[in-house]
Chains A and B, each alone.
Chain A
């Protein structure tokens, strides 16, 4: 019997079916009698709909809109709140809002029909940038366009600290939109089978979809079945957004009673799907005469678009990560979610943390250089340690190994020699960053809100894992089977896990927040241990539910307490050369070290590190997505540039061993952590090479030229 041990470097269980082209994604299915759907979307950022004129629809073609929502239903998708409308009705709030869907058998015909739909509007003044919204050029939400806000503080009173400081440095950093570009576009289908609606979706969170559209239809969640299909990448882009497709589809399916597929083409996916929040972070930092930080006051603005989606939670994470991996004598952070008439922003790997982590890293780089310190040494003075206070007045629960990690990457990259050798402005540069990511939902959210459950079912020699957590490329399916194989001591081929079907599995919570291995995997390990002890009892089931460790208070109304029990920690060095003439940047080396507890599979975590870091470097160096008057300018992957195999060199990576007591075999979350810091290491290197401070990402060559030209 071949047990797969945690320390074995395993072949992923889905590798062959995917590499052989046998894995079926939603677009690979064909059901008898199936129809397709195409969205009709708003073309202005804000206005009242005066009329919708449809072309004559051929037989078997339909137009479905808000008026088709059944009695008892509601024109709303229940994401976190019921704020996102299933269909625009009466007015539109952003370009790309769903007005209706056209349904029929031929995609070519639908495409032509969509072009013939005429909508007339009375245009209303719109706000499409953070500035417009803050200046109240129009009021679109509440009294001040602030859709959500929060405040946190720790340590000494920041106002007093700033009034006594020898100097105050004020800096503003901005980050742009980022598109997920999961290689498989958003795709959802809805069918009516045996008296129930069945949703087939490329998605991260099947139970989210169910809740969201049960609200639209006014029916019980149990009357809807959601089946996750093999998912070709997600990165947050398929956390809540599938609801926006599933809602109109279920309304249509309710009328037409035939299977209906909606598969976005790439252009639609680029132009009309959620994105990462653009941000602005403003620091006012008080220093003594030697440049030591006395305290900092941070104001954070995220552009949330026209609907809230998950933005309040994203903003909270941004605020909780705004002091980075550092402890200052005093700190205060304010977060504002700014409403605009832009496509809503939502989850994207890192979930609000990357924006503020980028900002604090650059801010410390700038202060260090101004006072003549090496950025690495300067940052090290402020490293958080176990037991120290965080911005939420909670404590760091675990051992922090940043100094060891720093040593690994500064040695491997020869950092100290290079910072001496590469004179500021010489065209060569090296940068270093430190970052973390709080694992799982904030505070006691796992217990109070998610209430994650997992079931193991034993039949003969076989064990099935039943939970709602999904495989989207990150390796969950392999890791879960490995945990059961090792813990129970059975062949991994006798451990089963299928893409979740909400009628068959228990709800283990969303596949998000780097929580699946750490939280759901831990439930799996516990259930497997019990199963092993009772192995001879015949066939039986074990269900485990999340329990929050005692002694870690959290208040979700004041945002005080232990926000996260286990952080992933990271450190990254990037080295670049910038061409004096063209400002083309060549990345010469990438070194990283991560504390993810104890890795569950060497190869899988290696792949996560590589992929996360390249996405982060794309975010900093290439991925420019501009929104002009509420419309995205880059609408294809020829105009929105993501990294290719040629853009960045081979990476060197390290881990430290720091087993986490509440994760399976000592593992912590890592999916998002690895996105959180290469961007600022890269920008630090570029700054050294060009001898200028920078204040925004992305920073493609043409923008570097602009910075160099700046007087």
Chain B
């Protein structure tokens, strides 16, 4: 058992427990942040994507012990920001959402991309979301929705 302190969606939090526990379980079960999904548990599908210090990570293969002092943002945090709202609006307007299970992770991946590249090309986007699997959409409308977000959110990133 050990105490791990980190920032979660802008708040300082403390986790007291097994440091080897997967971050995804701590988020979903410990903090009841169920917007982060588990699709594979092996780092392959991106459904569990969160931001760690602004970078996209898959929370199913990260032990909570490794995030001490880090800044973690989940969909619950991102959705309350102007940037998050812009991406989510664009996803709704652009028809990016079908079953929705991959979508919180896709929104996180979009944010990670736009943070470093506010004016991505279609190819940039395809690379940026290539770690996020979607079985429903065939990706085109997700790609278009991210392009839409970068246009609509001009100046936000």
Contacts and interface: CB of A to CB of B under 8 A. Distances in A.
Interface of A: 11-12, 14-25, 27-28, 180-185, 230-235, 265-266, 472-475, 603-604, 606-607, 609-615, 636-638, 642-646, 648, 650-651
Nearest to B99: A473
Contacts of B41: 265-266
A24 B33 CA distance: 11
B17 to A, nearest CB: 13
B155 interface: no
25 contacts: A11-B92, A12-B92, A14-B100, A15-B92, A16-B92, A19-B92, A20-B88, A21-B35, A21-B36, A21-B104, A182-B135, A183-B99, A184-B39, A235-B135, A473-B136, A603-B141, A611-B98, A614-B138, A636-B40, A637-B133, A643-B138, A645-B129, A645-B132, A646-B127, A650-B140
- Kindly name the residue among A19, A182, A610, A643 whose own CB sees the greatest number of chain B CB atoms within 10 A: A19
A610 B137 contact: yes
A15 B91 contact: yes
Given A232-B99, A475-B98, A603-B94, 15 more contacts: A19-B107, A21-B76, A27-B34, A182-B135, A183-B37, A232-B100, A233-B99, A233-B136, A234-B99, A235-B135, A603-B95, A612-B138, A636-B40, A642-B135, A646-B130
B76 to A, nearest CB: 6
Contacts of A266: 39-42, 45
Contacts of A637: 40, 42, 44-45, 133
Contacts of A230: 100
A20 B135 contact: no
A19 B107 CA distance: 7
B23 interface: no
B97 interface: yes
B140 A615 contact: no
B122 interface: yes
A474 to B, nearest CB: 7
A65 B93 CA distance: 49
Chief secondary structure at chain B's binding surface: loop
- Kindly name the residue among B96, B133, B140 whose own CB sees the greatest number of chain A CB atoms within 10 A: B140
B102 interface: yes
Interface residues of B, number: 53
Contacts, number: 167
A184 B131 CA distance: 17
Contacts of B94: 603
B6 interface: no
Nearest to A617: B138
Contacts of A185: 39
A553 B122 CA distance: 51
Contacts of B133: 181, 183, 637, 642, 644
Contacts of B40: 266, 636-637
B132 to A, nearest CB: 8
B143 interface: yes
A19 B100 contact: yes
B42 A638 contact: yes
B51 interface: no
B91 A183 contact: no
Contacts of A234: 99
A475 to B, nearest CB: 7
A613 B42 contact: no
Nearest to A234: B99
Interface in B108-144: 122, 125-127, 129-143
Contact of B98 (A474, A614, A636, A646): A474
A28 B34 contact: yes
Q: Sort A-B residue pairs by CB-CB distance and give the 3 closest, nearest first.
A: A21-B35, A473-B99, A18-B100
A555 B125 CA distance: 52
B64 interface: no
Contacts of B143: 645, 650
B137 A183 contact: no
A473 B88 CA distance: 17
Given A27-B38, A637-B42, A646-B130, A18 B136 contact: no
B89 to A, nearest CB: 9
Contact of B101 (A22, A184, A474, A615): A184
B123 to A, nearest CB: 9
- Kindly name the residue among A233, A643, A645 whose own CB sees the greatest number of chain B CB atoms within 10 A: A645
A650 B122 contact: yes
B75 interface: yes
B44 to A, nearest CB: 5
Nearest to B90: A19
B97 A12 contact: yes
A230 B143 CA distance: 24
